[in-house]
Structures are given as C-alpha cells and as structure tokens.
Amino acid sequence: MGTAAGITRFTLDNGLRVVVAEDRSAPVVAVTVNYDIGLRTEREGRSGFAHLFEHIMFRGSANVPDGDFSRLTSRYGGGGNASTGLDQTNYTTVLPTNALELGLFVESDRMGWPTLSEEAHRGECEVVKEETRLRFLNKPKTEPIGGWWLDMRALAFDGYPNAHDGTGSFEEIEASSAAETREFFESYYTPANAVLSIVGDPGDVDVKALVEKWFGVIPGRPTSPIPAVSEPPLSEERRKVLIDKLTPSPMLAVGWRTPDPVADMASHAAAIVLAEVLVAKEDGLLVRRLVSKEQLATSVAGFVEFFGLQFLARDPLLLSVTVHHDGSDADALLSAIDEEVAQFVAAPDECAVERAKTTVLTRWLQNIDEVGMRSIFVAGFELIWGRAELLDEIADVYRSVTTDDVVRVARDYLTPTSRAVLDIRGSK
C-alpha cells in the first residue's frame, strides 16, 4: 500500500543507508533523514541538547545560508519539519516530484556541513525555551500531551536517559556552547548513524545517481557510542502528588512498562491494542467503569509511547492512562483500574479486543496516509530493524494480535506493583 512499487535500498561508501519506496499515486515526494540520536541519548548536564541541536540544523549550512532552507524549499512548493523523539531525530521535506533534487541537495548540505554558528546557537537556546513554555509551562499539565508526560517519565524511571526532562532545563540549555554543538554533530550526526528515505513519486530520474551525487561526497567518520538506555522495571508502585496552578481540575496518570518493541514486536502491538481496550471512547473498560457506571471520572484516555510514532523507539516505553476527575480519591480510582484489569485477564471480552484491533489498525493506516509520515516510518524502520518493509507489514502485525496476547500483556505488565502514579491536583 504505502510502497506500491516495493523497496530498494543501498548503502553509500560513507555508511549512509538509503531506502527508496516508490508510490506514484500523487506527484509529491518526501525526503527524510533519520539520525539514530534522540532525547534519551543526551548526557547528564546537557538535558534538551538533542532537541536544541535539531533546531540549529535549520540555521544554515555551507551552501544554504541561514534562513534559506525554508525559503528554497517553499519557493519550489515544498515544506519541511523535524522532530526529536526518544531515540531518533528526523528531518523531513515534502516536495513536488520535480523538486526532488533540491530536497537531496539541502539535506546533504546540512548533513555534511552545517554552519553551527554562535549566533544560531544562542538564538535557538532562546527559541527552545519559548517552545517549552508554549507546549508545557504556559498551559495545564493535564492537557492530552501536556507536561504530565514529562513528570511521568521522571517518576517511572531511574536512569538518567529515561528519567530526565528531554525538553531541557533552562539552566543547562543556557550553559551550553556552540563548541558543544560542533562536538555533538561530529559524534552523532554521521552518515553511518543515519538513514535517508525517499518516499513517493521520484519522477523519471536515476535516484541512486542523485543520492550518490549529493550524499556520496560527505566524508564518513566513526559514530560515538550511543549510551545504553535499558533499566529494570519498577518492583513497587511509585506515587507522587503534583499541584499545578494552571490546571482547572485534577487528573490521575498511571504508567506501566510495555513489552520491548524490538525484542517482542507482537507483544508490543498487543500492548497498543490493550490501551485501546481500556480507553476506547464509550466502550473502553475503564471508560465504562470509571465514567459511565461509577462516575468517578469525567474522562479517560491513554496511549503507548511515542505520540503516534509507534515502533520508532526502543525499550523501555510506557503505556499510560490518564483519568480526569472531579476530586475522586486516588486509591478508589486505582482499585477500580486494578479490578477491571483483573476481570479482563480472568474473562476477556473478545469483541472488545477485535474492535480495539480494528481501531488501532485504522489509526495506523491514517497515520501513514500522508507521504511525509510514510517517509519517517520507512527511515525509522530501516534504522531500528533494517526492514523498511515493516511499513506494509505493521498492519498484519496488528491483525495477528490475539486475545491471549492482550491478556498476557495485561496480566504481566499492568500490575499494581510495577506502576508509576501521578496525582495532579489543580487550582480549585
């Protein structure tokens, strides 16, 4: 579906892996570079650095002056964006088919020779602080993708990679230097630590030749080791009370570990289905119990990390459930959650599982409808699994999830002793 003409791949002498997935259903093409470096791979004392660096990558390169990246691409009808995830940072430009070479030129120029000026560094330090204020500090923590998520990771994990605030402490961002951005670039933004994906309609060009022309001249160099991020699960519940002045009413957030997506993709998929079983609007087990039946909550939501980019992050990850309420007792909410999970394990509702599977599958297909998102997944799958083909196979992974799989995940992972609980209280 997303790869109508199949995948072709090759690796350049400098180590850059390249994946081409043709789809000629619309005259657009996406160029994405995924680097295998994200929030979790920042060193202590430099929280937020991976995200800061992502910003600086838009501030000029040897042949693309500061400000010209977006000017050039938009002039030719394109647009781009980037995002820093837990383990990967992706840069995506979507262009009309006839502007493919422009996309390859601008991406290669900043892969090889980003300017990384002092001015850009200082400027983007201020900009990322404003982004943090905009997304997290100036709005209620309890918004769907609000600051609660950062507090949850700080509580659920002990190791710095997983527990630290990836948006960055303002003090550490301000203390960073342009020299450190150069060092970060040299260490991690190497061709061998990246995958280039070209997804969509490339037109009638020799794609491999174009890639060689623009990326082949980038010198190869070794990549610094990426720190390990694994850590054992919690052995007892952790709980924390937070007061948030901007939140109008309280929310309970509960986080549990999920199965390792790389070592056990099928079980991780089952965890994604389980989240839907629990929180589906109207029909979710927790919605029925907490909202409809006992009116302990006003709404229930939940997800498995990482914000629509499922399977693009490695273990450990969380399945989180958020419960908005009007002052219910946290223990009463947790007891109800535990009972529902136990009842599901003892006597699973197979219809609910099938509905959840269908919902998750549809959501996945919608997620990859847009060519830019497809290119991110193609690059990401190649980076982690060496299998961009997963773009077409994930649907079958979801279809293959069984009720037993979902029950097993609920039984083994959603336990009262292995969770983190945030009790967020508001201004009222």
Partner 1 sequence: MSNGLDVWAARRGGAALSEVRLVIPLGGLGADASSDATARLTAELLFSEAAGPAAAEAGSRLAALGFSARASAGAGTFSVGLSGLDDNLAEALAIVADVLGSTSFDADQVAQRAGRIAAQLELEGADPGRIAHDRLRRLLFGGHAYGRTLSDPSAVAATESPAADAFARTHLVPSRSHLVVVSPRDATEVLSEAESSMKVWGRSGEATPVPDPPDTAPDTFGHMLVLDRPDSVQTAFWFASRTSGRGAPDHAALTIAVLVLQKRVYDNIRRRNAWSYAAGSQLIDLPKASYCMLGCPVRTEVTMPAYAELLYEMNRMIASPISVEELEEAVGALQGRTAQRLGSRSGLAEELCRLAEAGSTIRVLADETAALSSVTADEVMETSRRWLAPSRTAFVAVGKAETLQPLLGIIGPVRAEPV
- List contacts with partner 1 (CB under 8 A): 1-2, 4, 23, 25-28, 66-67, 71, 74-79, 94-96, 122-131, 133-134, 137-140, 142-143, 245-249, 280-283, 291-292, 295, 298-299, 324, 326, 351, 354-356, 358-359, 361-363, 365-366, 368-371
Q: Which is nearer to partner 1, 44 or 119 (CB)?
A: 119
- Please list, in sequence order, all residues whose beta carbon lies within 8 angstroms of the beta carbon of residue 213, skipping any fewer than 6 positions away: 104
CB of 153 to partner 1, least distance (A): 21
Smallest distance, partner 1 to C-beta of residue 216, A: 28
- Asked whether the beta carbons of 21 and 3 are under 8 A apart, the reply is yes
Backbone angles phi, psi at 164, to 5 degrees: -75, 160
Q: Copy the structure tokens of residue 387.
A: 């299998």
Q: Tell me which residue of 164, 173, 45 sits closest to 121, measured CA to CA.
A: 173
Closer residue to partner 1, CB minimum distance, 79 or 220: 79
Rounded CA-CA distance 99/73 in Å is 8
Nearer to partner 1, 18 or 28 (CB): 28
Q: Which is nearer to partner 1, 72 or 254 (CB)?
A: 72
Sheet holding 79-84, edge to edge: 7-11, 17-22, 194-200, 28-35, 89-96, 79-84
Sign of CA dihedral 360, 365, 369, 373: positive
- Rounded to whole angstroms, the Cα distance separating 269 from 388 reads 17
Give the shortest CB-118-to-partner 1 separation in angstroms.
13
Q: Which is nearer to partner 1, 186 or 329 (CB)?
A: 329
Q: Which is nearer to partner 1, 134 or 228 (CB)?
A: 134
Strands 238-243 and 419-425: parallel
- Cβ closer to partner 1: 78 or 161? 78
Q: How far is the CB of 392 from partner 1 (least distance, A)?
A: 10
Q: How far is the CB of 219 from partner 1 (least distance, A)?
A: 30
Beta carbon nearer to partner 1, 283 or 338? 283
Shortest distance, position 263 Cβ to partner 1, whole Å: 29
Kindly state the smallest distance separating residue 310's Cβ from partner 1, in Å. 17
Q: How far is the CB of 171 from partner 1 (least distance, A)?
A: 16
CB nearer to partner 1: give 16 or 291: 291
Residue 110 CA to residue 115 CA, distance in Å, equals 8
Nearest distance from C-beta of residue 119 to partner 1, angstroms: 10
Query: Are 338 and 254 in contact, with CB atoms under 8 Å apart?
Result: no
Query: Which CB sits closer to partner 1, 71 or 182?
Result: 71
Q: Write the DSSP string, 382-404.
A: HHHHS-TTHHHHHHHHHHT--HH
Question: In whole angstroms, what is the distance from residue 287 CA to residue 235 CA?
Answer: 27
Q: Compute how many other C-beta atoms are within 10 angstroms of the C-beta atom of residue 235.
A: 7
Tell me how far apart the alpha carbons of residues 6 and 393 are, in angstroms, rounded to a whole number: 12
Closest among 94, 86, 104 to 159, alpha carbons compared: 86
Do 132 and 139 contact (CB within 8 A), yes or no? Answer: no
Min. distance of Cβ 398 from partner 1 in angstroms? Answer: 11
